[in-house]
């Protein structure tokens, strides 16, 4: 199994703030796949906004998986978290307890980047001035988008798209070589993704800062 990944989200509703800590194991076969819908252990807490000194309470957990194999992965996360007397998941478990265990396991903190539709390690999040771009498949004369990248402008996007096409050529995806040739011949057309998630920015607040 791959690395342990984790990310979080926080929401406020009236007097309460909730936090969800999502933990997954990277897919060995598809390491770049967003684990959100694959196999996921989510830990939940809430806090009274006017009484932050009371800390986080109301701990609960949920499991999201599609099949028995995914459940095995999720169960592995729980075993790793608890270890041998390392951490007992119970109603009084705090976010700091879990974070300390994740750090001991060298888990990788990520943020969901809507520009890539992926969990991305905080250390690898693209600059905020970058947007999503795709190869200009219509001008190039083939049926659909093949590759994409994040870039600050059209020129950088062309470089990024070229690098992604070149990567496919070295990863046994030879069927895309014809598309690469057409794209080059058409003058390297690129399309800036202008729908909301293509230009949305990820929340890169570290979990440790969120739970202070």
From first to last of its 212 residues, what are the pLDDT tens digits of the chain?
A: 578 899 999 998 889 999 999 998 876 554 445 555 556 889 999 999 888 778 899 999 998 877 777 788 788 888 888 877 667 788 888 999 999 999 999 999 999 888 888 889 999 999 988 999 999 999 999 988 889 999 999 999 999 999 999 888 776 666 788 899 999 999 999 999 875 554 577 889 999 999 98
Residues 6+ apart with CB under 8 A from 205: none
Buried b (16+ CB within 10 A) or exposed e, 166-177: eebeeeeeeebe
Terminal CA-CA length for the chain:
32
From 172, 175, 183, 118, select the one nearest 145 (Cα to Cα): 183
Token duo for residue 133: 């771009």
> What are φ and ψ of residue 89, in 5° steps?
-80, 110
The answer to whether the predicted template modeling score (pTM) of the entire model surpasses 0.85 is no
3-state SS, residue 91:
coil
Sign of torsion over alpha carbons 44, 49, 51, 52: positive
């Amino acid at each position: 199994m791959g690395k342990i990944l984790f990310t979080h989200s926080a929401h406020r509703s009236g007097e309460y703030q909730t936090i969800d800590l999502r933990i997954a194991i990277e897919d060995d076969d598809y390491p770049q796949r967003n684990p959100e819908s694959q196999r996921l252990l989510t830990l939940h807490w809430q806090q009274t906004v006017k009484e932050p000194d009371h800390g986080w309470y109301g701990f609960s957990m949920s499991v999201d998986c599609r099949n028995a194999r995914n459940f095995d992965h999720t169960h592995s996360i729980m075993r790793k978290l608890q270890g041998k007397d390392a951490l007992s998941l119970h109603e009084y478990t705090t976010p700091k307890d879990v974070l300390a265990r994740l750090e001991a396991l060298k888990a990788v903190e990520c943020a969901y980047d809507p520009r890539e539709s992926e969990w991305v390690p905080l250390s690898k999040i693209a600059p905020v001035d970058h947007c999503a771009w795709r190869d200009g498949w219509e001008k190039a004369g083939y049926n659909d988008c093949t590759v994409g990248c994040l870039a600050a402008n059209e020129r950088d996007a062309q470089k990024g798209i070229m690098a992604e096409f070149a990567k496919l050529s070295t990863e046994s995806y030879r069927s895309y070589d014809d598309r690469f040739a057409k794209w080059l011949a058409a003058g390297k057309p690129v399309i800036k993704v202008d729908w909301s998630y293509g230009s949305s920015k990820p929340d890169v607040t570290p979990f440790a800062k969120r739970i202070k």
